[in-house]
Amino acid sequence: MASRLNPYISFAGNARQAMEFYHEIFGGDLRTNTYGEYGEQGSAIADNIMHAMLETPGGFALMGSDAPPGMEHRPGNDIAISLSGDDADELRGYWSRLSEGGTVSVPLEKQMWGDEFGACTDRFGIDWMVNIAQT
C-alpha cells in the first residue's frame, strides 16, 4: 500500500455524531471502535470513540476520535481540511452539506485566481475549504 496523508480530527465526546455526519456526506465505509472495546468497559469514556476511519469511494480517508481525559481538545485551531478538484457538482454538494448548520467565512464563489472557492466551519468546529478548479 502506498503512503497517504489522512486528516485526523480530535473531538470532545461527539466523534460518533461527527463521523456519521461526514459519512452521510461522503459515503463509503465508516469503521468505529470505542474505548470500551479496548479495555475501558464501565468507565465514563467506554462509549466514546477511540478510533474511527472513513474511507470513501472517491479516495478520501478521514480519521477521528474523542480526545481521552487529560488530552487537550482544540477544535479547528491547527488545521483546515481542503477539498479540491474539477467535479463542480460533487464539490458543491459537499460544500452545501458541510456548511449547513455551520459558519461560512468565505462564500463559495468565483475568486480572483479564477476558481470557485469557499471556506466554512462546520457545526462541529472543523474548518473546511472547497476549491473548484475552472477548466
DSSP characters over 91-121: HHHHHHHHHTTSEEEEEEEE-TTSSEEEEEE
Residue whose C-alpha cell reads 469511494 in the numeric block: 57
Q: What is the pLDDT of residue 101?
A: 97
Q: How far is Cα 52 from Cα 67, in angstroms, rounded to an integer?
A: 12
Q: What is the pLDDT of residue 129?
A: 87
Q: What is the pLDDT of residue 76?
A: 63
Q: How far is Cα 19 from Cα 14, in angstroms, rounded to an integer?
A: 9
* Strand-strand pairing, 127-132 and 80-85: parallel
Of 70, 41, 37, 73, nearest to 52 by C-alpha is 37
> Which domains, and CATH codes, for the chain?
8-66 (3.10.180.10), 80-132 (3.10.180.10)
CB atoms within 10 A of CB 94: 18
Per-residue pLDDT of the chain (135 residues; tens, 9 = 90+): 465 667 888 898 999 999 999 999 999 999 999 988 887 777 788 899 989 999 999 999 998 889 877 777 777 665 778 898 999 999 999 999 999 999 999 999 998 888 999 999 999 988 898 999 987
Q: In 3-state terms, what secondary structure has residue 53?
A: strand
Q: What is the pLDDT of residue 6?
A: 76
Contact between 11 and 64 under an 8 Å Cβ cutoff? The reply is: yes
Q: What is the pLDDT of residue 72?
A: 75
Cell of 112: 480572483
